Amino acid sequence: MKVLVTGAAGFIGFHLCRRLAATRHCDVLGVDNLSDYYPVALKRARLAELAPLEKFRLVQADFADAENFRQLHAGFAPDYVVHLGAQAGVRYSAENPAAYVHSNITGFLSVLEACRARPPKHLVFASSSSVYGAGARVPFSEDQAADRPVSFYGATKRANELMAHSYSHLHGLNTTGVRFFTVYGPWGRPDMTPVIFSKALCEGRPVQLFNAGKNLRDFTHVDDIVDGLLKILLYPPAAGPSGLPSEAAPAPAPCRIFNLGHHRPVEMRLFVEMLATLLGKQAQLELLPPQPGDLVETCADLTRVQAAVGYAPRVALEDGLRGFVEWFRSYYGC
């Protein structure tokens, strides 16, 4: 089979492409514009890991360029599309919202249009736990209303879910949105807390913790995320409930929403202590007030995805952090 993956040089995209390309009967086309939101050297290092894989090739392109992406999609004729490319980051979205409109709104429209012109068997796209905003109840379940995001990033991801639903309803496109919960692991993004905290610990700087370190996060290892994506990808949705709020009438559209998380939130202060122990460092903490746009707690209700595809996270945080620290020491020389 043929799979097109956007954001192939990104954190999750890299791990997914590596897993897919290692499969004997799977050809993978990666699309990535190698944006400089964080150091491109890390993206190139990931791609260097993929280079020996005969079943993988990369095209450097911006998927928001509608005509170019349409031609790439049509020329490759994928059986499946996994759209992971996006402008990420909750806090950066308050500083540069235009970047999120370009990648997350205009870019996703470009992907939808290409898939409408030549429908794959299934389009799976990245959403985020950030869509759960004000009024969300823990654990977060997909049938909760997600109409009050507290970050612009979350708003763009919720917009993606609604856009996908409309294309499924109007054009019969099989779509599944996946709400990721705080993904971590080797080759992780440098703007995310595991790398930020590890650098501070190694350099002897205070670790900054918002909300005095009391925020809880549902840390999910990237291997579990990839397992979930593969299970979801191979089973397109049947017509049925759309993932809209429960008070809305179910629409006969082949569109659904799934959480992918771990369902075991950890307080950030404890997370730092675990990292410090694995790194052999003493943690210095700088306790700060809550940060605008941050959720106090995230926790994934996995009932729906477990029932649909049998997803169950396997990597314990202790084991996952140990593997992350091994990679961190190797890559950053700590």
Which residues are identified as catalytic?
Answer: 153
Residue 67, classified by CB atoms within 10 Å of its CB into exposed (0-12), middle (13-18) or buried (19+), is exposed
Instruction: Give the SS3 label for residue 40.
Output: helix
Distance CA 234, CA 101 (A): 30
- What is the distance between the alpha carbons of residues 225 and 23, in angstroms, rounded to a whole number? 17
Residues 6+ apart with CB under 8 A from 280: none
Strand partners, 258: 178
The answer to whether the beta carbons of residues 257 and 243 sit under 8 Å apart is yes
Helix (H) / strand (E) element for 143: namely: none
Cβ atoms < 10 Å from Cβ of 218:
26
